[in-house]
Structure 1
Amino acid sequence: MLQIEVIGNIGADAEIKEFGGKKYVSFNVAHSEKRKDANGAMVESTTWVSVLWYGDGGGLTQYLKKGCKVFVRGRLSVKPYQDRNGNTQVAVNVNANEVNLCGFKGEQSTAASSATQQPSTLAGQDNDDLPF
């Protein structure tokens, strides 16, 4: 089993979905990097990772909004697919077992609220013990 850790910004508000009678939270995380190409010009590339987090998010879902910075840890899944033009692309997916809030895009402070949720439970705490 391949494990992955991802830090990036959420591309759109997280959604709770249901499949086969099981709930899961779905969202995408993006990470952009700037680098110089062979000609010395700066180019930016963005990598998107789809996240599936089984359970209902334990109250954290309401904070998983577009632009929010998150840390995600889970099992890596890579799947090839054909795009609209018939080109082979690769989808990078994470079946998350841990999600932490790290702040919002452009936020200066790293002291943002943070919470970790294991599937269906919130780090061994009752929801009444959470700071939000």
Structure 2
Amino acid sequence: MIKLQIIGNLGKDCIVKEVNGKNVINFSVAHTERFKDAQGNQKERTTWVECAYWTDRTGIAPYLTKGRTVYAEGAPEADAYTNKEGQAAATLRMRVQAVQLLGGNVEGQGSGTGNVANTGISSAPVIKTQQAVAAPDDDLPF
């Protein structure tokens, strides 16, 4: 088995369709890699992955919105074709087996910690960095 894993941002809101009595959630994930070229210039390269998530659990669909950071994994497929300019091109697709919401609140989506557990998918845990550990001052060992 070949497995593809990607962390990236959704390029647009997902689309839920029913095909032959089965539900599919289609979404596009963009991963941008930043690197320096041979001359030391900062460059960016964005790779798009067209995702198809065949599932009965469509409850995650309202959370798969433009700009949301997600982790997705599944089986990759590549399609080669000739574009409008006559040049060879390719599309990277993935038949998603698992998807997880990452990151914090996306504008206009409430707290970002809504209950999505009934979808079988959960949001990444939120780590609070402002919690301080209270240590008594008089018990210092020095």
Check whether TM > 0.5.
yes
Query: In the alignment, which residue of structure 2 is the partner of 1:130?
Result: none
Which amino acid is the alignment partner of residue 120 of structure 2? A
Matches within 5 A, 1:47-66: 47-55=47-55, 57-66=57-66
Q: CA deviation at 1:98?
A: 0.5
Q: TM-score, normalised by structure 2?
A: 0.70
Output one character per residue of 1:46-91: Cα deviation in whole Å (capped at 9) or x when no partner. 0000100012543100000011011101111111111111111111
The residue number in structure 2 matching 1:13 is 13
What is the CA deviation profile of residues 21-54 of structure 1, one whole-angstrom value per residue up to 9, with x for unaligned ones? 4320000000111111122211111000010001
Question: Contact 1:3–1:76 at 8 Å: present in 2 too?
Answer: yes
Alignment CA distance shift 1:82-1:39 (3 Å): same
Contact 1:24/1:57, CA 8 A, preserved across alignment: no
Q: Deviations over 1:98-131 (max 9, x none)?
A: 1100125899xxxx649889xxx8439xxxxxxx
Number of the residue aligned with 1:103: 103
Which amino acid counterpart does residue 19 of structure 1 have in structure 2?
Answer: V
Q: Identity of counterpart residues, as a percentage? A: 32
Q: CA deviation at 1:2?
A: 1.2
**Superposition CA RMSD, Å:** 2.8
Q: Identify the residue that residue 42 of structure 2 maps to in structure 1.
A: 42
1:13 Cα offset (Å): 0.4
**Contact 2:73 2:98 survives alignment (8 Å):** yes
Task: Give me the TM-score of the superposition, normalised by structure 1.
Answer: 0.75
> Bigger shift: 51-60 or 28-37?
51-60
* Structure 2 unaligned residues grouped into runs of 5+: 122-142
Q: SS state of the match for residue 103, structure 2?
A: strand
